[in-house]
Structures are given as structure tokens and as C-alpha cells.
Chains A and B, each alone.
Chain A
Amino acid sequence: MRLLIVDDSNIIRGKIARALGKYGLTIAGLETNGREAVERFREARPGIVTMDLTMPEMDGIECIRQIRAIDPTVRILVVSALTDKATAISALMEGAQGFLGKPFSEDDLCDAVGELLRGNHG
């Protein structure tokens, strides 16, 4: 399955790419803001997206809305430092299926993606 990674931090994008590359996912794109992510998503049509929330130009919530409108079946894991419950609920209401707080370990990330791929959302 192909993966789009969206985060304004190069270090976080690399960490996710390394961990999920080992997990067997193929990287379809590495984007730094929501606007670029929507464009890349339209071209590459990945099956799974990891999404930061606080980003320049277009934030993660708006990006989730637009990506979800393009493909309602895509699986979206939010990976964010905004770890309050209200933010997690808001992201899930907008169409994300999983939420992982920063800081996170590779194991945390792989577990969260595993849950997403098995369909155990939330």
C-alpha cells in the first residue's frame, strides 16, 4: 500500500518514512503543508495518509476535509502534538480514522498504522 506523509517537520517526515518503510509501505509523497498534500494526493492516490495538524498554508483539518472529498475510502492517521481530547475528536469527526500524539516511538506508529489497516479505527 502507498503512503503519503504530511508534516512540516523534515525530521518527523523522515522518522515516519523510515518506520513505515520497514513496515512495508511504499512512500508516495512527503509534503510539508496541507495545500501541497491535497495536490499530491490527487496525483498519487495513496491508500493511507499520515497527517500533521499544525502546518503553514493549509492546516491538517482542512486538508483531511479536502482529501476525504477526493477519496472517501482513504485511511488517515493524524500525527500531532495537539494531544488534547477535543482536537482528537475534531480530527476523527472530519474523517481521520486514527490519532497518534507526538512525541511517538516507531512502535507506537506501527501499532497505530496496523490498527488503521485492520480497520480498528479510533
Chain B
Amino acid sequence: MDEEQLRIFVGLVQFYFEHEGGEAAAVGSPFLGEPDALPVMDYTGVIGISGSRRGCVYVTSSRKLLQALLEFMGETDFSEANYADLAGEIANTISGNARQHFGHEFMISVPVIVHGHSTDIRMPNQVKAYVIPLHWRKFEAALVVSLE
């Protein structure tokens, strides 16, 4: 991963929130995350990457952010299942859109949803994980990208 590639993900996540949430997410300074201290919030959508690149991309969000986003989208179903669904769809959309930049061989998995502050997210060994902090309205989320 280089700075240019990191900028691609920043642009994609801003576009997602601008389109689906009416205003772009404010992006904090990206940083290199420690493997055992990566951010994990209430709901996390994890996408495995294979093909031309290997690794994973995940978006982790507070429940309040997802609730506000669902409200903005006109959803009336605020079930646990719909929070999880939205967490997965955010990660899926950002990862899928990345193929415009990384090419057709940038293969993405279906999203895996992790609830709560789990340690079940398996990051690639020996690969740096970049954390992009996000603030949308007054709520927090983070995009984590770890690609060989």
C-alpha cells in the first residue's frame, strides 16, 4: 500500500457517505494500526480480498452512526439484522468500488459481519494495516485497509 492507494480508499469512503448520508464523512489522519489494537466498534463489515491483491478491508461503525444512516436512507427497520446488513453493505460498496482503481482481478468476498468488540477479525500476517478514522455528523467509524 502506498499513499496514492490510501487516498483511493479515502475518496471512496467519502463518496459513500456523501451519496448515502447526504454529507461526506470527515476523514481524520490515517495511521498505521498496531495488529493487536485495531479499532473495532459495535458493527464491523469485513471483506476478504484475493486475486491481484491479498488481504482485507473492513469498516467498523458505532451503532449510533448506523442508526442515523438508516434514518437518513428512509429505513424504518432498526433491527439488529439491519444494522449488521448496513455494516456489510458499506464495506461491500467501498471494496467493490475500489476495483475501478485496482483492476478486475481485485476480487472481493461477500461481507462477514462481526458484532461488538470481538477479536475474531483475522488480519493478514506481516502486512501493515492502515486505519482511516471517520466522522460522519457527530458519529464515529473507521476504515481499515490491510493489503499485501
**Are A11 and B75 touching (Cβ within 8 A)?**
yes
**Are A54 and B110 touching (Cβ within 8 A)?**
yes
Contacts of A103 in B (CB 8 A): 15-16, 19-20, 93
**Are B89 and A11 touching (Cβ within 8 A)?**
yes
B89 CB to nearest chain A CB (Å) = 5
Q: Say whether A9 faces chain B, with CB atoms less than 8 Å apart.
A: yes
Q: Say whether B73 faces chain A, with CB atoms less than 8 Å apart.
A: yes
Contacts of A85 in B (CB 8 A): 100
**Are B100 and A83 touching (Cβ within 8 A)?**
yes
Q: Say whether A1 faces chain B, with CB atoms less than 8 Å apart.
A: no
A-facing mask of B81-124, CB < 8 A → 1, else 0? Answer: 11001101100111111011001100011100000000000000
**A87 in contact with B93 given A10-B85, A55-B110 (CB within 8 Å):** no
A81 to B88, alpha carbons, bound, how many Å?
A: 12
Contacts of B15 in A (CB 8 A): 103
A12 to B88, alpha carbons, bound, how many Å?
A: 11
Q: Which residues from 1 to 37 on chain B have a C-beta closer than 8 Å to any C-beta of chain A?
A: 15-16, 19-20
Q: Say whether A29 faces chain B, with CB atoms less than 8 Å apart.
A: no
Q: Which residues from 58 to 102 on chain A have a C-beta closer than 8 Å to any C-beta of chain B?
A: 80-87, 101-102
B44 CB to nearest chain A CB (Å) = 16
Size class of A's contact patch?
20 to 34
B98 CB to nearest chain A CB (Å) = 9
A72 to B108, alpha carbons, bound, how many Å?
A: 29
Interface on B for A, CB 8 Å cutoff? 15-16, 19-20, 70, 73-75, 77, 81-82, 85-86, 88-89, 92-97, 99-100, 103-104, 108-110
Q: Say whether A119 faces chain B, with CB atoms less than 8 Å apart.
A: no
Interface on A for B, CB 8 Å cutoff? 8-12, 14-15, 18, 54-56, 80-87, 101-103, 105
B66 CB to nearest chain A CB (Å) = 10
> In the complex, which residue of chain B has the Cβ closest to the Cβ of A81?
B96
**Are B97 and A81 touching (Cβ within 8 A)?**
yes
> In the complex, which residue of chain A has the Cβ closest to the Cβ of B92?
A81
22 contacts between A and B (CB under 8 A): A9-B85, A9-B92, A10-B77, A10-B82, A11-B70, A11-B75, A11-B82, A11-B89, A15-B73, A54-B96, A54-B108, A80-B96, A81-B92, A81-B93, A83-B100, A84-B99, A85-B100, A102-B92, A103-B15, A103-B16, A103-B19, A103-B20
> In the complex, which residue of chain B has the Cβ closest to the Cβ of A103?
B19
Contacts of B16 in A (CB 8 A): 103
**Are A11 and B103 touching (Cβ within 8 A)?**
no
A9 to B109, alpha carbons, bound, how many Å?
A: 14
